[in-house]
Amino acid sequence: MRDLRQIRSLLGESLMDEGKLALVSARLILRTGMSITELRPEHVQSPAAIAKVTLALAEMGFDLDAISKRSKGRG
């Protein structure tokens, strides 16, 4: 299971731009009430928070599994 720090890291590597990450985070705040850039300790490993963020990202077109595979392919 991923935690929100890992998700933030994957997004950052994928977007390669802090401005874009901030925009995605703003959209997540609107959809979930949670920021991916300013993580609250109680959300980092919360299964409910992780599921909520993962679903919202998928709905916005971010496939975390595909991003993770591309990231591993570069390393």
pLDDT for res 68: 87
Q: Which residue has the tokens 């300013």?
A: 38
pLDDT for res 56: 97
Rg, C-alpha atoms of the chain: 11
Higher-pLDDT residue of 71, 27 = 27
For residue 9, pLDDT over 90 is answered with yes
Indicate the pTM of the whole model.
0.87
Which of 2, 1, 68, 8 is CA-nearest to residue 38?
8
Measured CA to CA, the distance from residue 17 to residue 28 in angstroms comes to 17
Q: CA separation (Å) from 23 to 1, 11, 20, 74, 75?
A: 25, 11, 5, 25, 26
For residue 74, pLDDT over 70 is answered with no
pLDDT digits over 23-41, tens only? 999 999 999 999 999 999 9
What are the residue boundaries of the structural domains of the chain, listed by start?
A: 4-74
